[in-house]
Amino acid sequence: MTEMVRKITLSRAVRTMQDLFPVEYNFYPRSWILPEEFPLFVDEVQMMKESDPSWKPTFIVKPDGGCQGDGIYLVKDPSDVRLTGSLQNRPAVVQEYICKPLLVDKLKFDIRLYVLLKSLEPLEIYVAKDGLSRFCTEPYQEPTVKNLHQVFMHLTNYSLNIHSGNFIHSDNANTGSKRTFSSILCRLSSRGADVKKVWSDIISLVIKTIIALTPELKVYYQSDIPAGKPGPTCFQILGFDILLMKNLKPMLLEVNANPSMRIEHEQELSPGVFENVPSPVDEEVKVAVIRDTLRLVDPQKKKRKNTQSQTSEQVSETKDELLDAGPADGLEYDTSKTTEAGLPSLCLKQVFPKYAKQFNYLRLVDKVAALFIRFLGVKGTTKLGPTGFRTFIRNCKLSNSNFSMASVDILYIDITRRWNSMGIDHRESGNAILYLKILEAFLVALVAQAHPKLQKLTLMEIHLSLDFFLLSVGQRHFLQEVPYSTV
Protein backbone atom coordinates (compact mmCIF):
# COMPACT_ATOMS: atom_id res chain seq x y z
CA MET A 1 0.00 0.00 0.00
CA THR A 2 2.88 2.31 0.79
CA GLU A 3 4.13 1.81 -2.75
CA MET A 4 0.68 2.32 -4.24
CA VAL A 5 0.06 5.69 -2.66
CA ARG A 6 3.42 7.24 -3.46
CA LYS A 7 2.75 10.40 -5.41
CA ILE A 8 3.95 9.03 -8.75
CA THR A 9 2.21 5.65 -8.45
CA LEU A 10 -1.06 7.24 -7.36
CA SER A 11 -0.92 9.79 -10.19
CA ARG A 12 -0.22 7.03 -12.70
CA ALA A 13 -3.05 4.83 -11.41
CA VAL A 14 -5.53 7.72 -11.46
CA ARG A 15 -4.30 8.77 -14.91
CA THR A 16 -5.11 5.33 -16.34
CA MET A 17 -8.64 5.76 -15.04
CA GLN A 18 -8.81 9.38 -16.26
CA ASP A 19 -7.89 8.17 -19.74
CA LEU A 20 -10.64 5.56 -19.65
CA PHE A 21 -13.25 7.51 -17.67
CA PRO A 22 -12.39 11.23 -17.89
CA VAL A 23 -15.66 12.53 -16.46
CA GLU A 24 -15.77 10.16 -13.51
CA TYR A 25 -12.15 10.88 -12.57
CA ASN A 26 -12.18 14.67 -12.78
CA PHE A 27 -11.62 14.97 -9.01
CA TYR A 28 -7.84 14.74 -9.35
CA PRO A 29 -5.81 17.71 -10.59
CA ARG A 30 -4.07 17.33 -13.92
CA SER A 31 -0.62 15.89 -13.12
CA TRP A 32 2.63 15.06 -14.86
CA ILE A 33 5.38 12.73 -13.71
CA LEU A 34 8.87 14.23 -13.60
CA PRO A 35 11.40 13.98 -15.06
CA GLU A 36 9.99 11.62 -17.73
CA GLU A 37 6.95 13.70 -18.65
CA PHE A 38 8.59 17.11 -18.49
CA PRO A 39 8.48 17.61 -22.29
CA LEU A 40 4.82 16.54 -22.29
CA PHE A 41 4.11 18.98 -19.43
CA VAL A 42 5.72 21.85 -21.35
CA ASP A 43 3.82 20.99 -24.54
CA GLU A 44 0.44 20.53 -22.92
CA VAL A 45 0.69 23.74 -20.91
CA GLN A 46 1.71 25.59 -24.05
CA MET A 47 -1.22 24.13 -25.96
CA MET A 48 -3.72 24.96 -23.22
CA LYS A 49 -2.41 28.51 -22.98
CA GLU A 50 -2.78 28.95 -26.72
CA SER A 51 -6.32 27.67 -26.72
CA ASP A 52 -7.28 29.82 -23.73
CA PRO A 53 -5.07 32.95 -23.39
CA SER A 54 -6.92 33.97 -20.20
CA TRP A 55 -5.71 30.82 -18.43
CA LYS A 56 -3.09 31.87 -15.86
CA PRO A 57 -2.19 28.60 -14.15
CA THR A 58 -0.03 27.85 -11.15
CA PHE A 59 1.63 24.48 -10.61
CA ILE A 60 2.61 22.68 -7.46
CA VAL A 61 5.70 20.47 -7.52
CA LYS A 62 5.76 17.56 -5.06
CA PRO A 63 8.74 15.22 -4.67
CA ASP A 64 7.82 11.55 -4.93
CA GLY A 65 7.75 9.81 -1.58
CA GLY A 66 7.74 13.14 0.27
CA CYS A 67 5.33 13.93 3.09
CA GLN A 68 4.45 16.75 5.45
CA GLY A 69 4.93 19.34 2.76
CA ASP A 70 8.58 18.33 2.41
CA GLY A 71 10.24 19.85 -0.69
CA ILE A 72 6.96 21.20 -2.12
CA TYR A 73 6.96 24.49 -4.05
CA LEU A 74 4.78 26.45 -6.45
CA VAL A 75 5.73 27.73 -9.90
CA LYS A 76 3.87 29.83 -12.44
CA ASP A 77 5.59 28.48 -15.52
CA PRO A 78 7.25 25.24 -16.66
CA SER A 79 10.39 27.24 -17.45
CA ASP A 80 10.87 28.23 -13.78
CA VAL A 81 14.51 27.52 -12.85
CA ARG A 82 13.52 25.89 -9.57
CA LEU A 83 11.77 23.27 -11.62
CA THR A 84 14.17 22.88 -14.52
CA GLY A 85 17.18 23.00 -12.17
CA SER A 86 15.95 20.16 -9.95
CA LEU A 87 14.58 17.86 -12.64
CA GLN A 88 17.28 15.22 -12.41
CA ASN A 89 17.61 15.25 -8.62
CA ARG A 90 14.42 13.66 -7.41
CA PRO A 91 11.41 12.20 -9.20
CA ALA A 92 8.35 14.33 -8.56
CA VAL A 93 4.80 15.05 -9.59
CA VAL A 94 3.89 18.45 -10.96
CA GLN A 95 0.25 19.24 -10.66
CA GLU A 96 -2.17 21.97 -11.52
CA TYR A 97 -2.60 24.10 -8.39
CA ILE A 98 -6.19 24.57 -7.26
CA CYS A 99 -6.39 28.33 -7.03
CA LYS A 100 -9.89 28.71 -5.67
CA PRO A 101 -10.23 26.62 -2.53
CA LEU A 102 -13.13 27.05 -0.14
CA LEU A 103 -12.07 29.44 2.61
CA VAL A 104 -13.26 29.47 6.21
CA ASP A 105 -12.32 32.52 8.25
CA LYS A 106 -10.38 33.64 5.14
CA LEU A 107 -8.10 30.62 5.52
CA LYS A 108 -7.40 27.68 3.22
CA PHE A 109 -7.90 24.26 4.83
CA ASP A 110 -7.94 20.64 3.76
CA ILE A 111 -9.74 17.57 5.05
CA ARG A 112 -8.09 14.45 6.43
CA LEU A 113 -10.60 11.68 6.13
CA TYR A 114 -10.01 8.17 7.45
CA VAL A 115 -10.99 5.27 5.27
CA LEU A 116 -10.83 1.61 6.21
CA LEU A 117 -10.00 -0.80 3.41
CA LYS A 118 -11.31 -3.83 5.24
CA SER A 119 -10.84 -6.30 2.46
CA LEU A 120 -9.51 -6.28 -1.06
CA GLU A 121 -11.25 -9.41 -2.33
CA PRO A 122 -14.18 -8.91 -2.06
CA LEU A 123 -13.75 -5.15 -1.94
CA GLU A 124 -15.00 -3.65 1.31
CA ILE A 125 -14.60 0.03 2.09
CA TYR A 126 -15.67 2.03 5.13
CA VAL A 127 -15.52 5.80 5.48
CA ALA A 128 -15.28 7.64 8.80
CA LYS A 129 -18.15 9.98 9.34
CA ASP A 130 -15.96 12.72 10.74
CA GLY A 131 -12.51 13.88 9.78
CA LEU A 132 -10.07 16.64 10.57
CA SER A 133 -9.84 20.03 8.93
CA ARG A 134 -6.33 21.40 8.94
CA PHE A 135 -5.96 25.11 8.48
CA CYS A 136 -3.37 27.39 7.00
CA THR A 137 -2.20 30.14 9.31
CA GLU A 138 -1.99 33.09 6.90
CA PRO A 139 -5.07 34.52 5.12
CA TYR A 140 -5.34 33.05 1.63
CA GLN A 141 -4.69 34.97 -1.56
CA GLU A 142 -4.73 33.52 -5.02
CA PRO A 143 -1.18 32.72 -6.09
CA THR A 144 0.91 35.52 -7.53
CA VAL A 145 4.64 35.61 -8.19
CA LYS A 146 4.94 37.60 -4.94
CA ASN A 147 3.18 35.16 -2.62
CA LEU A 148 4.11 31.79 -4.19
CA HIS A 149 6.67 31.05 -1.49
CA GLN A 150 4.35 31.71 1.45
CA VAL A 151 3.85 28.19 2.75
CA PHE A 152 1.57 29.23 5.64
CA MET A 153 -0.82 30.65 3.03
CA HIS A 154 -0.77 27.83 0.47
CA LEU A 155 0.08 24.58 2.26
CA THR A 156 -2.27 23.19 4.87
CA ASN A 157 0.14 20.68 6.40
CA TYR A 158 -0.13 20.62 10.19
CA SER A 159 3.59 19.86 10.44
CA LEU A 160 4.39 23.15 8.67
CA ASN A 161 1.75 25.43 10.15
CA ILE A 162 2.52 24.35 13.72
CA HIS A 163 5.69 26.43 13.32
CA SER A 164 3.74 29.57 12.47
CA GLY A 165 3.24 32.09 15.25
CA ASN A 166 -0.44 32.18 14.24
CA PHE A 167 -1.15 28.49 14.91
CA ILE A 168 -4.03 28.13 17.37
CA HIS A 169 -4.36 25.00 19.51
CA SER A 170 -7.92 24.81 20.59
CA ASP A 171 -9.91 22.55 22.91
CA ASN A 172 -12.95 23.37 20.85
CA ALA A 173 -13.73 21.40 17.69
CA ASN A 174 -15.12 24.56 15.99
CA THR A 175 -12.17 26.91 16.28
CA GLY A 176 -8.40 26.87 15.97
CA SER A 177 -6.04 25.57 13.34
CA LYS A 178 -7.29 21.97 13.54
CA ARG A 179 -11.02 21.38 13.68
CA THR A 180 -13.43 18.55 13.09
CA PHE A 181 -14.77 18.33 9.54
CA SER A 182 -18.28 18.07 10.98
CA SER A 183 -17.89 21.54 12.50
CA ILE A 184 -17.12 22.90 9.03
CA LEU A 185 -20.13 21.09 7.58
CA CYS A 186 -22.39 22.51 10.31
CA ARG A 187 -21.19 25.95 9.39
CA LEU A 188 -21.73 25.34 5.70
CA SER A 189 -25.14 23.86 6.38
CA SER A 190 -26.18 26.94 8.37
CA ARG A 191 -25.22 29.04 5.32
CA GLY A 192 -27.53 26.91 3.21
CA ALA A 193 -24.95 24.67 1.52
CA ASP A 194 -26.01 21.21 0.42
CA VAL A 195 -23.80 19.20 2.76
CA LYS A 196 -25.38 15.90 1.77
CA LYS A 197 -24.15 16.50 -1.76
CA VAL A 198 -20.68 17.28 -0.39
CA TRP A 199 -20.68 13.92 1.45
CA SER A 200 -22.01 12.09 -1.54
CA ASP A 201 -19.21 13.54 -3.71
CA ILE A 202 -16.59 12.65 -1.10
CA ILE A 203 -17.79 9.05 -0.82
CA SER A 204 -17.76 8.77 -4.58
CA LEU A 205 -14.19 10.19 -4.69
CA VAL A 206 -13.04 7.65 -2.09
CA ILE A 207 -14.59 4.65 -3.87
CA LYS A 208 -13.25 5.71 -7.28
CA THR A 209 -9.75 6.30 -5.90
CA ILE A 210 -9.66 2.85 -4.32
CA ILE A 211 -10.96 1.33 -7.55
CA ALA A 212 -8.00 2.99 -9.30
CA LEU A 213 -5.57 1.48 -6.79
CA THR A 214 -6.91 -2.06 -6.60
CA PRO A 215 -5.50 -3.56 -9.85
CA GLU A 216 -1.85 -3.10 -8.90
CA LEU A 217 -2.58 -3.63 -5.25
CA LYS A 218 -3.99 -7.04 -6.06
CA VAL A 219 -0.82 -8.00 -7.89
CA TYR A 220 1.24 -6.98 -4.86
CA TYR A 221 -1.17 -8.79 -2.57
CA GLN A 222 -1.14 -11.91 -4.67
CA SER A 223 2.64 -11.94 -4.71
CA ASP A 224 2.72 -11.81 -0.91
CA ILE A 225 -0.31 -13.91 -0.09
CA PRO A 226 -1.07 -16.29 -2.95
CA ALA A 227 -4.62 -17.53 -3.24
CA GLY A 228 -5.32 -20.70 -1.34
CA LYS A 229 -2.58 -20.05 1.16
CA PRO A 230 -4.05 -19.36 4.59
CA GLY A 231 -2.46 -15.99 5.03
CA PRO A 232 -3.07 -13.14 7.41
CA THR A 233 -6.25 -11.17 7.00
CA CYS A 234 -5.17 -7.69 6.04
CA PHE A 235 -6.79 -4.34 6.48
CA GLN A 236 -5.52 -0.81 6.09
CA ILE A 237 -6.55 2.51 7.52
CA LEU A 238 -5.93 5.14 4.86
CA GLY A 239 -5.77 8.90 5.31
CA PHE A 240 -7.38 10.71 2.37
CA ASP A 241 -6.34 14.36 1.96
CA ILE A 242 -9.10 16.25 0.23
CA LEU A 243 -9.47 19.90 -0.73
CA LEU A 244 -12.88 21.48 -1.10
CA MET A 245 -13.03 23.97 -3.92
CA LYS A 246 -14.97 27.20 -3.59
CA ASN A 247 -17.88 25.54 -5.41
CA LEU A 248 -17.75 22.72 -2.80
CA LYS A 249 -16.40 20.16 -5.22
CA PRO A 250 -13.97 17.83 -3.39
CA MET A 251 -10.57 17.29 -5.02
CA LEU A 252 -8.18 14.52 -4.05
CA LEU A 253 -4.73 15.72 -3.00
CA GLU A 254 -3.21 12.50 -1.83
CA VAL A 255 -3.68 9.27 0.05
CA ASN A 256 -1.59 8.31 3.07
CA ALA A 257 -0.98 4.65 3.85
CA ASN A 258 0.28 5.41 7.29
CA PRO A 259 -1.77 8.32 8.61
CA SER A 260 -0.77 9.78 11.95
CA MET A 261 -2.87 8.46 14.80
CA ARG A 262 -1.37 10.79 17.40
CA ILE A 263 -3.89 12.24 19.82
CA GLU A 264 -1.46 14.60 21.46
CA HIS A 265 0.44 17.61 20.28
CA GLU A 266 3.64 19.20 21.40
CA GLN A 267 3.48 22.44 23.30
CA GLU A 268 6.50 24.64 23.84
CA LEU A 269 6.54 25.49 27.54
CA SER A 270 9.62 27.66 27.33
CA PRO A 271 12.08 28.08 24.44
CA GLY A 272 13.25 24.59 23.48
CA VAL A 273 11.22 22.81 26.20
CA PHE A 274 8.29 20.79 24.86
CA GLU A 275 5.54 18.86 26.51
CA ASN A 276 2.96 16.48 25.02
CA VAL A 277 -0.54 17.67 25.74
CA PRO A 278 -3.83 15.97 24.77
CA SER A 279 -5.47 17.20 21.59
CA PRO A 280 -9.26 16.78 22.02
CA VAL A 281 -9.98 17.25 18.31
CA ASP A 282 -7.58 14.47 17.28
CA GLU A 283 -8.88 12.27 20.06
CA GLU A 284 -12.51 12.71 19.07
CA VAL A 285 -11.87 11.68 15.47
CA LYS A 286 -9.07 9.11 15.73
CA VAL A 287 -10.15 7.06 18.74
CA ALA A 288 -13.47 6.38 17.05
CA VAL A 289 -11.69 5.23 13.87
CA ILE A 290 -9.46 2.80 15.76
CA ARG A 291 -12.31 1.43 17.88
CA ASP A 292 -14.56 0.81 14.90
CA THR A 293 -11.71 -0.72 12.91
CA LEU A 294 -10.88 -3.16 15.67
CA ARG A 295 -14.51 -4.12 15.98
CA LEU A 296 -14.88 -4.67 12.27
CA VAL A 297 -11.75 -6.74 11.81
CA ASP A 298 -11.97 -8.63 15.10
CA PRO A 299 -11.68 -12.33 14.26
CA GLN A 300 -13.64 -13.18 17.42
CA LYS A 301 -16.52 -11.04 16.19
CA LYS A 302 -18.52 -13.88 14.74
CA LYS A 303 -18.49 -15.80 18.00
CA ARG A 304 -19.64 -12.79 19.99
CA LYS A 305 -22.20 -11.87 17.40
CA ASN A 306 -24.27 -14.88 18.31
CA THR A 307 -24.30 -14.08 22.00
CA GLN A 308 -24.92 -10.36 21.60
CA SER A 309 -27.40 -10.27 18.81
CA GLN A 310 -30.34 -10.23 21.21
CA THR A 311 -29.20 -7.01 22.90
CA SER A 312 -27.95 -5.20 19.80
CA GLU A 313 -31.31 -3.64 19.04
CA GLN A 314 -31.23 -1.70 22.29
CA VAL A 315 -27.90 0.02 21.71
CA SER A 316 -28.31 3.49 20.32
CA GLU A 317 -25.91 5.71 18.48
CA THR A 318 -24.36 8.48 20.51
CA LYS A 319 -23.03 10.77 17.78
CA ASP A 320 -25.11 13.48 16.23
CA GLU A 321 -27.07 12.40 13.21
CA LEU A 322 -26.35 15.23 10.80
CA LEU A 323 -24.29 13.09 8.48
CA ASP A 324 -26.70 10.19 8.65
CA ALA A 325 -29.68 12.12 7.35
CA GLY A 326 -31.38 11.43 4.03
CA PRO A 327 -29.88 10.46 0.70
CA ALA A 328 -27.88 12.67 -1.65
CA ASP A 329 -27.44 11.37 -5.18
CA GLY A 330 -28.00 7.98 -3.66
CA LEU A 331 -24.77 7.96 -1.65
CA GLU A 332 -25.33 8.45 2.04
CA TYR A 333 -24.10 6.93 5.20
CA ASP A 334 -25.48 3.66 6.41
CA THR A 335 -28.04 4.66 9.02
CA SER A 336 -27.95 1.40 10.94
CA LYS A 337 -27.21 1.97 14.55
CA THR A 338 -25.01 -1.00 15.22
CA THR A 339 -22.00 -2.75 13.76
CA GLU A 340 -22.20 -6.42 12.97
CA ALA A 341 -20.88 -7.27 16.42
CA GLY A 342 -23.88 -5.55 17.95
CA LEU A 343 -21.90 -2.65 19.38
CA PRO A 344 -22.67 0.97 18.55
CA SER A 345 -20.95 2.19 15.42
CA LEU A 346 -18.99 5.27 16.34
CA CYS A 347 -17.93 6.43 12.99
CA LEU A 348 -17.12 3.92 10.26
CA LYS A 349 -19.84 3.43 7.68
CA GLN A 350 -19.74 0.95 4.88
CA VAL A 351 -19.78 2.50 1.41
CA PHE A 352 -18.66 -0.51 -0.62
CA PRO A 353 -20.19 -2.97 -1.50
CA LYS A 354 -23.16 -0.88 -0.38
CA TYR A 355 -22.90 1.32 -3.48
CA ALA A 356 -21.19 -1.27 -5.67
CA LYS A 357 -23.86 -1.12 -8.36
CA GLN A 358 -23.07 2.50 -9.18
CA PHE A 359 -19.33 1.90 -9.46
CA ASN A 360 -18.85 -1.61 -10.78
CA TYR A 361 -18.55 -0.46 -14.38
CA LEU A 362 -15.34 1.35 -13.37
CA ARG A 363 -13.74 -1.93 -12.30
CA LEU A 364 -12.67 -2.74 -15.83
CA VAL A 365 -8.96 -2.43 -15.09
CA ASP A 366 -9.49 -4.65 -12.08
CA LYS A 367 -10.73 -7.35 -14.42
CA VAL A 368 -7.64 -6.91 -16.56
CA ALA A 369 -5.51 -7.34 -13.44
CA ALA A 370 -7.44 -10.49 -12.55
CA LEU A 371 -6.71 -11.97 -16.00
CA PHE A 372 -3.14 -10.86 -15.66
CA ILE A 373 -2.73 -12.55 -12.27
CA ARG A 374 -4.34 -15.70 -13.58
CA PHE A 375 -2.11 -15.87 -16.64
CA LEU A 376 1.13 -14.97 -14.97
CA GLY A 377 0.33 -17.09 -11.95
CA VAL A 378 1.75 -14.42 -9.63
CA LYS A 379 2.85 -16.26 -6.50
CA GLY A 380 5.17 -15.43 -3.66
CA THR A 381 7.22 -12.86 -5.57
CA THR A 382 6.89 -9.71 -7.59
CA LYS A 383 9.53 -10.94 -10.03
CA LEU A 384 9.03 -13.09 -13.06
CA GLY A 385 12.08 -15.26 -13.70
CA PRO A 386 12.91 -16.95 -17.03
CA THR A 387 11.07 -20.15 -16.04
CA GLY A 388 7.96 -18.22 -15.02
CA PHE A 389 8.10 -16.37 -18.32
CA ARG A 390 8.20 -19.68 -20.22
CA THR A 391 5.20 -20.92 -18.21
CA PHE A 392 3.34 -17.69 -19.00
CA ILE A 393 4.00 -18.12 -22.72
CA ARG A 394 2.89 -21.76 -22.50
CA ASN A 395 -0.28 -20.87 -20.55
CA CYS A 396 -1.19 -18.35 -23.21
CA LYS A 397 -0.45 -20.89 -25.92
CA LEU A 398 1.80 -18.33 -27.56
CA SER A 399 4.62 -20.64 -28.54
CA ASN A 400 4.43 -22.47 -31.84
CA SER A 401 6.73 -23.50 -34.61
CA ASN A 402 7.56 -19.87 -35.39
CA PHE A 403 8.06 -18.91 -31.77
CA SER A 404 10.16 -21.56 -30.11
CA MET A 405 11.08 -21.78 -26.45
CA ALA A 406 14.59 -20.66 -27.38
CA SER A 407 13.08 -17.48 -28.86
CA VAL A 408 11.08 -17.06 -25.65
CA ASP A 409 14.31 -17.12 -23.64
CA ILE A 410 15.89 -14.58 -25.98
CA LEU A 411 12.80 -12.38 -25.68
CA TYR A 412 13.10 -12.58 -21.90
CA ILE A 413 16.72 -11.43 -21.95
CA ASP A 414 15.82 -8.72 -24.41
CA ILE A 415 13.01 -7.34 -22.22
CA THR A 416 15.11 -7.31 -19.06
CA ARG A 417 17.95 -5.56 -20.93
CA ARG A 418 15.61 -2.97 -22.36
CA TRP A 419 14.02 -2.25 -19.00
CA ASN A 420 17.36 -1.94 -17.32
CA SER A 421 18.46 0.55 -19.94
CA MET A 422 15.20 2.47 -19.35
CA GLY A 423 16.35 2.98 -15.76
CA ILE A 424 14.22 0.37 -14.04
CA ASP A 425 16.29 -0.18 -10.94
CA HIS A 426 18.60 -3.20 -11.03
CA ARG A 427 18.35 -3.80 -7.30
CA GLU A 428 14.57 -3.54 -7.45
CA SER A 429 14.22 -5.99 -10.31
CA GLY A 430 17.26 -8.18 -9.58
CA ASN A 431 17.54 -8.46 -13.36
CA ALA A 432 14.14 -10.12 -13.58
CA ILE A 433 10.94 -8.86 -15.09
CA LEU A 434 8.72 -7.21 -12.53
CA TYR A 435 5.10 -8.24 -12.67
CA LEU A 436 4.05 -4.70 -11.99
CA LYS A 437 6.00 -3.38 -14.91
CA ILE A 438 4.23 -5.87 -17.14
CA LEU A 439 0.88 -4.85 -15.74
CA GLU A 440 1.81 -1.21 -16.31
CA ALA A 441 2.76 -1.94 -19.92
CA PHE A 442 -0.40 -3.99 -20.32
CA LEU A 443 -2.54 -1.11 -19.05
CA VAL A 444 -0.78 1.46 -21.18
CA ALA A 445 -1.50 -0.74 -24.19
CA LEU A 446 -5.11 -1.13 -23.11
CA VAL A 447 -5.61 2.60 -22.67
CA ALA A 448 -3.86 3.36 -25.93
CA GLN A 449 -6.15 0.88 -27.60
CA ALA A 450 -9.28 2.37 -26.12
CA HIS A 451 -8.40 6.02 -25.85
CA PRO A 452 -8.50 7.68 -29.28
CA LYS A 453 -12.05 6.54 -29.89
CA LEU A 454 -13.16 6.48 -26.30
CA GLN A 455 -15.43 9.53 -26.38
CA LYS A 456 -17.64 7.79 -28.90
CA LEU A 457 -17.52 4.28 -27.48
CA THR A 458 -20.25 2.75 -25.44
CA LEU A 459 -19.33 0.65 -22.45
CA MET A 460 -20.09 -2.51 -24.39
CA GLU A 461 -17.70 -1.40 -27.09
CA ILE A 462 -14.99 -0.79 -24.52
CA HIS A 463 -15.45 -4.32 -23.24
CA LEU A 464 -15.34 -5.63 -26.76
CA SER A 465 -12.26 -3.64 -27.50
CA LEU A 466 -10.67 -5.13 -24.40
CA ASP A 467 -11.59 -8.60 -25.57
CA PHE A 468 -9.98 -7.97 -28.92
CA PHE A 469 -6.94 -6.66 -27.20
CA LEU A 470 -6.69 -9.82 -25.13
CA LEU A 471 -7.24 -11.89 -28.21
CA SER A 472 -4.57 -10.00 -30.01
CA VAL A 473 -2.02 -10.79 -27.32
CA GLY A 474 -2.77 -14.44 -27.75
CA GLN A 475 -5.04 -15.17 -24.83
CA ARG A 476 -7.55 -17.11 -26.87
CA HIS A 477 -7.12 -20.15 -24.73
CA PHE A 478 -8.42 -18.32 -21.69
CA LEU A 479 -11.30 -16.70 -23.51
CA GLN A 480 -12.46 -20.06 -24.82
CA GLU A 481 -12.40 -21.59 -21.37
CA VAL A 482 -14.13 -18.86 -19.48
CA PRO A 483 -17.71 -17.81 -20.18
CA TYR A 484 -18.02 -14.42 -21.86
CA SER A 485 -19.90 -12.92 -18.92
CA THR A 486 -16.94 -13.60 -16.63
CA VAL A 487 -14.59 -11.84 -19.00
- Residues forming the site for ligand ADP (CB under 6 A): 29, 60, 62, 66-70, 72, 95, 97-98, 110, 155-157, 241, 243, 253-254
Q: Quick one: 110 or 216, whose CB is closer to ligand ADP?
A: 110
Give the C-alpha separation, 212 to 216, whole Å: 9
Q: Quick one: 67 or 415, whose CB is closer to ligand ADP?
A: 67
**Listed residue (83, 92, 76, 79) closest to 34, CA to CA:** 92
User: How far apart are CB 67 and ligand ADP at their closest, in Å?
Assistant: 4
Q: Quick one: 153 or 369, whose CB is closer to ligand ADP?
A: 153
DSSP 152-204: HHH---HHHHTTSTT----SSTTSSSEEEHHHHHHHHHHTT--HHHHHHHHHH
User: How far apart are CB 108 and ligand ADP at their closest, in Å?
Assistant: 7
Taking residue 163's Cβ as centre, other Cβ atoms within 10 Å add up to: 10
User: How far apart are CB 136 and ligand ADP at their closest, in Å?
Assistant: 7
State the amino acid at position 24 in one-letter form: E
- CB-based contact 114:257 (threshold 8 Å): no
Radius of gyration of the chain (CA): 24
DSSP H or E stretch at residue 441? helix 435-450
Q: Is 104 helix (H, G, I), strand (E, B) or coil?
A: strand
Q: Quick one: 112 or 208, whose CB is closer to ligand ADP?
A: 112
User: How far apart are CB 109 and ligand ADP at their closest, in Å?
Assistant: 8
Residue 361's alpha-carbon distances to 115, 195, 198, in angstroms, are 22, 27, 23
Q: Quick one: 254 or 282, whose CB is closer to ligand ADP?
A: 254
User: How far apart are CB 96 and ligand ADP at their closest, in Å?
Assistant: 6
User: How far apart are CB 159 and ligand ADP at their closest, in Å?
Assistant: 8
Taking residue 478's Cβ as centre, other Cβ atoms within 10 Å add up to: 18
User: How far apart are CB 32 and ligand ADP at their closest, in Å?
Assistant: 12
Q: Quick one: 149 or 302, whose CB is closer to ligand ADP?
A: 149
User: How far apart are CB 292 and ligand ADP at their closest, in Å?
Assistant: 25
Distance of alpha carbon 177 from the chain centroid: 25
- CB-based contact 91:63 (threshold 8 Å): yes
User: How far apart are CB 97 and ligand ADP at their closest, in Å?
Assistant: 4
User: How far apart are CB 66 and ligand ADP at their closest, in Å?
Assistant: 5
Q: Where are the beta strands (DSSP E) in 330-426?
A: 348-352, 383-384
Helices assigned H by DSSP within 234-380? 280-297, 301-308, 356-359, 364-376
Residues in the chain, overall count: 487
- CB-based contact 141:363 (threshold 8 Å): no
Give the C-alpha separation, 382 to 224, whole Å: 8
User: How far apart are CB 154 and ligand ADP at their closest, in Å?
Assistant: 6
Phi (first) and psi of residue 362, to 5 degrees: -80, -5
Q: Quick one: 98 or 356, whose CB is closer to ligand ADP?
A: 98
Dihedral (Cα; 353, 358, 361, 367), 10-degree rounding: -10
- CB-based contact 336:345 (threshold 8 Å): yes
Strand partners, 180: 132
Q: Quick one: 258 or 276, whose CB is closer to ligand ADP?
A: 258
State the amino acid at position 167 in one-letter form: F
Q: Quick one: 143 or 388, whose CB is closer to ligand ADP?
A: 143
Q: Quick one: 242 or 323, whose CB is closer to ligand ADP?
A: 242
**Listed residue (132, 71, 127, 72) closest to 262, CA to CA:** 132
Q: Quick one: 45 or 373, whose CB is closer to ligand ADP?
A: 45
Give the C-alpha separation, 111 to 245, whole Å: 11
Q: Quick one: 57 or 344, whose CB is closer to ligand ADP?
A: 57
- CB-based contact 113:242 (threshold 8 Å): yes
User: How far apart are CB 29 and ligand ADP at their closest, in Å?
Assistant: 4
